[in-house]
Amino acid sequence: MTKRNLDIVVLSDIHLGTVGCNAIELLQYLNSINPKMIVLNGDFVDVWNFRKYYWPESHMMILRTLLTMMTNGTDIYYLTGNHDEVLRKVSSLQLGPLLIKDKLILELNGEKVWIFHGDIFDITMKHSKWIAKLGGKGYELLILLNLAINTISNKLGYGKISLSKKIKDSVKKAVKFIEDFEMTAFELAIDQGYDYVICGHIHQPKIRGYENEKGSVIYMNSGDWVENLTALEFDGHEWDMYRYREEDFVAGDRIEKLINRNKVNNEVYVQ
């Protein structure tokens, strides 16, 4: 496969270390691109739900692939989120081409871009963190149920469905929360003089313009790799939303074979 050259890729809410992470699909995507910069915009590793007994080889291969990309010249910014907030204790740490930060400000073609995870807008994170963590446990159980249902659904020929996505899209309070989140991002970015604001956190991929009496801004959310399997891509001229499609990767089973091989000889996957 010929790799696509990109200036910037923004990924958020990968949730490594949980059963909901679509690690093989993410590996396929990472091995199809050659970016100058990758921004991991929060919740890359799910520290909240991390279990010592659950760390599949595919999750380790994501780390190895990113390390290989760094070795080959890709700059990687790790922006902290709520599920990996422990890293906020070491914000501003730099290890070669890897930088850990809470936010990232870029100037691209004369326009200012503000990138951060977005959990600062979540009232449950500010005042009732235990409620948010409890919700995270329920979300993990929902993902487990979803995996079982999809196994049956695939055998019956109906394909995959996302229970958590359907629930969030249908519950009025969830929809209202997303609308409030986006509105807060719009208005704060305009007040701060940014042309673009990029968030994660709410697992809702979107590119949307907004304008008020003070100015205008382009809001973007990179989505996630649990439900939507999306990323934001910048080719040097414009931003675009990438959406994973299984049919784009005809050799998808090749990665599964490499995973099995790596379990035996611990080789690092480099393409």
pTM metric for this prediction: 0.77
pLDDT of residue 94: 83
Mean pLDDT value across residues 48-54: 75
* Average pLDDT of span 46-55: 78
What is the arithmetic mean of pLDDT over 48-61? 84
Report pLDDT for 180.
83
pLDDT value, residue 212: 93
pLDDT value of residue 254: 61
235-261 pLDDT, tens digit per residue, is: 999 999 999 998 888 755 566 656 665
Class (C level, CATH) for 4-265: alpha beta
Q: What is the DSSP string of the chain?
A: -PPEEEEEEEE----BTSTT--HHHHHHHHTTEEEEEEEEES-SB-STT--TT---HHHHHHHHHHHHHHHTT-EEEEE--STTGGGGGGTT-EETTEEEESEEEEEETTEEEEEE--GGG-HHHHH-HHHHHHHHHHHHHHHHHHHHHHHHHHHTT-----HHHHHHHH-HHHHHHHHHHHHHHHHHHHHTT-SEEEE-SS---EEEEEEETTEEEEEEE---TTTT-EEEEE-SS-EEEEE--GGG-TTHHHHHHHHHHHHHH-PPP--
pLDDT at 196 over 90: yes
Range in 135-144, 145-154, 230-239 the model is least confident about: 135-144
Quote the tokens at residue 7.
């200036």
